[in-house]
């Protein structure tokens, strides 16, 4: 077990949304935080006419600090104890947690075992990222937006040298291993409206994946951009545009190369969007909700909807960079977590679910770009989950304090404890776990 303790005493304050591809649609190191602000007002320095102003300044500054420091983060030993209680309660075999404070990784720990042999799960064990891949992908799309290679609201039809509907016939097995059968859309002119923003907000109208559709036929179920329905297929289309779009506008970019540049820059030495043989010596298998061991899937192709392998120590570095905005312009970082499309259903699944009556909708719940955004007691936040039969992951961040919790579990049953774990560490954030999971948390 590898452990990193807090450098200082902290005194302040899916997925079910990403089922395995085969099932979807069918049901840093430690760094010191910035020093605390010290306010020293000597009233003798001011004449009496400035005293009211001094008092006002002190009141405003104190109020600002109070609003930012809303919750005392627990110390490492308390997090350890809570994680172990959660594992006992859910019968989970493996769990890893990272905590980020003021945009810096403060605590990283792993608990339990990584395989049936009982080898320990460590902070450097390679685990399946599942649909947290989507969040990583969105970050890199926004890098391309900064470079003016992708425009969020320019239709995909303008990004290719020939019409989209001429790509991906059902006879092209190699193409369909990564992308969709876009020839299926030939009789539906709505394909011409599809944009990168719609892909990132899950509003393309596609099902989660084309191969779970009746007859394995890709189709558009609603007018693009008008509503949310979780779709890895929509992100695959955006990946196709990036990798095979017009070279004259800077497309034809390999997603493996693009993401590896970031991972290298951040020191994420055991992360990639496809399998690497050197992951094998310290690799996590997983457990489903029946307690059965399932082997780690060695994914041989980059699929931005969910092919990432990572470790808790690596992913913590990425999430810290994301919440700080490293690697993006200020505008692109803000765009990722801006409310884009209101989420009006009771839960994220099933696909194409009915909207709640307006009086029952959560008014602060929106799709961002690659994440879901919300407003809670600690202000604006964002989150993303990842899930398959034996995997449960979540990332929750609060923007104002740049605080995040990252949880990776190689036992899907741990998912049932995520709401309590996040609340224990971050306090009451208002993260919409009920919308994310409904009553399916911890189930394969």
Residue 401 has pLDDT above 70, yes or no: yes
Cβ atoms of residues 61 and 37 within 8 Å: yes
Residue 277 has pLDDT above 60, yes or no: yes
What pLDDT is stored for residue 442 in this prediction? 97
Of the listed ranges 63-72, 179-188, 396-405, the one predicted with least confidence: 63-72
What pLDDT is stored for residue 43 in this prediction? 33
84: three-class secondary structure by DSSP: helix
What pLDDT is stored for residue 260 in this prediction? 98
Let me know if residue 215 belongs to a domain. yes
The chain-wide mean pLDDT, for the chain, equals 88
Quick one: which H or E segment has residue 333? Answer: helix 330-336
Let me know if residue 87 belongs to a domain. no
| pLDDT tens, position by position, 281-299 | 999 999 999 999 999 999 9
Which residues, in sequence order, are CB contacts of 411 under 8 Å at separation 6+?
A: 90, 91, 92, 93, 94, 95, 112, 286, 287, 390, 392
Report percent pLDDT > 70 for the chain: 84
What pLDDT is stored for residue 53 in this prediction? 43
Q: Mean pLDDT across the stretch 56-73?
A: 51
Question: Tokens in use for 214?
Answer: 């009746």
* Residue-range definition of the domain harbouring residue 183: 150-252
Which residues, in sequence order, are CB contacts of 200 under 8 Å at separation 6+?
A: 138, 141, 152, 234, 235, 238, 340, 369, 370
d(CA 181, CA 299): 21
Q: Position of tokens 């909807």?
A: 305
Instruction: Answer with the residue of higher pLDDT: 20 or 380.
Output: 380
287: three-class secondary structure by DSSP: strand
| pLDDT tens, position by position, 297-339 | 999 999 999 999 999 999 999 999 999 999 999 999 999 999 9
What pLDDT is stored for residue 197 in this prediction? 99
Q: Confidence band (pLDDT; 50, 70, 90) for 30?
A: very low
d(CA 109, CA 128): 17
What pLDDT is stored for residue 419 in this prediction? 98
Residue 98 has pLDDT above 90, yes or no: yes
Residue 191 has pLDDT above 80, yes or no: yes
d(CA 417, CA 141): 32
**CB-based burial of residue 294 (10 Å sphere; 0-12 exposed, 13-18 middle, 19+ buried)?**
middle
Q: Mean pLDDT across the stretch 198-216?
A: 98
Let me know if residue 216 belongs to a domain. yes
Residue 140 has pLDDT above 70, yes or no: yes
What pLDDT is stored for residue 70 in this prediction? 67
Let me know if residue 416 belongs to a domain. no
212 bridge partner residues = none
Let me know if residue 60 belongs to a domain. no
d(CA 136, CA 132): 7
Please count the helices (runs of H) and the strands (runs of E) in the chain.
11, 13
Taking the model in full, what pTM does it have?
Answer: 0.86
d(CA 135, CA 138): 5
Let me know if residue 17 belongs to a domain. no
Let me know if residue 190 belongs to a domain. yes
Question: Tokens in use for 331?
Answer: 């505008």
What pLDDT is stored for residue 371 in this prediction? 98
Q: Confidence band (pLDDT; 50, 70, 90) for 424?
A: very high
What pLDDT is stored for residue 19 in this prediction? 37
Cβ atoms of residues 78 and 48 within 8 Å: no
| pLDDT tens, position by position, 221-233 | 999 999 999 999 9
Distance of CA 282 to the CA centre of its chain: 24
E-only strand ranges, 170-281: none
Residue 4 has pLDDT above 70, yes or no: no
Let me know if residue 222 belongs to a domain. yes
d(CA 407, CA 422): 9
Number of domains in the chain: 1
């Amino acid at each position: 077990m590898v452990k990193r303790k807090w450098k200082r005493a902290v005194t302040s304050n899916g997925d079910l949304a990403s089922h395995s591809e085969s099932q979807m649609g069918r049901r840093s190191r430690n760094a010191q935080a910035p020093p605390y602000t010290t306010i020293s007002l000597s009233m003798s320095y001011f004449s009496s006419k400035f005293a009211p102003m001094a008092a006002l300044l002190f009141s405003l500054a104190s109020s600002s600090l109070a609003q930012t420091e809303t919750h005392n983060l627990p110390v490492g030993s308390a997090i350890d104890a809570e994680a172990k209680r959660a594992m006992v309660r859910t019968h989970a075999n493996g769990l890893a947690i990272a905590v980020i404070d003021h945009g810096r990784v403060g605590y990283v720990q792993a608990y339990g075992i990584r395989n049936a042999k009982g080898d320990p799960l460590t902070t450097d064990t390679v685990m399946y990222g599942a649909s947290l891949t989507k969040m990583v992908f969105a970050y890199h799309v926004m890098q391309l937006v900064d470079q003016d290679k992708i425009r969020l609201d320019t239709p995909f039809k303008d990004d290719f040298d020939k019409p989209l509907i001429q790509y991906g016939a059902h006879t092209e097995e190699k193409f369909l291993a990564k992308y969709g059968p876009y020839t299926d859309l030939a009789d539906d002119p709505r394909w011409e409206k599809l944009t990168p923003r719609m892909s990132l907000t899950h509003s393309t109208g596609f099902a989660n994946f084309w191969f779970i559709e009746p007859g394995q036929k890709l189709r558009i179920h609603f007018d693009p951009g008008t509503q949310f329905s979780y779709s890895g297929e929509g992100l695959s289309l955006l990946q196709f545009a990036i990798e095979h779009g017009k070279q004259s506008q800077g497309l034809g970019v390999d997603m493996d190369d693009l993401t590896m540049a970031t991972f290298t820059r951040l020191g994420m030495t055991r992360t990639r969007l496809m399998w690497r043989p050197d992951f094998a010596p310290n690799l996590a298998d997983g457990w489903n909700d029946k307690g059965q061991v399932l082997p780690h899937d060695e994914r041989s192709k980059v699929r931005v909807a969910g092919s990432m392998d990572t470790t808790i120590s690596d992913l913590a570095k990425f999430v810290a960079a994301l919440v700080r905005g490293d690697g993006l312009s200020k505008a692109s970082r803000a765009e990722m977590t801006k409310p884009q499309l209101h989420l009006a259903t009771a839960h994220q699944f099933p696909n194409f679910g009915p909207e709640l009556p307006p009086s029952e909708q959560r008014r602060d719940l929106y799709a961002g770009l690659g994440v879901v955004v919300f407003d809670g007691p600690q202000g604006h936040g964002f989150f993303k989950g990842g899930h398959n039969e034996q995997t449960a992951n979540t990332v929750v961040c609060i923007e104002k304090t740049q605080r995040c919790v990252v949880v990776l579990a190689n036992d899907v049953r741990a998912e049932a404890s995520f709401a309590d774990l996040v609340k224990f560490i971050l306090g009451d954030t208002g993260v919409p776990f009920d919308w994310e999971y409904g009553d399916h948390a911890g189930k394969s």
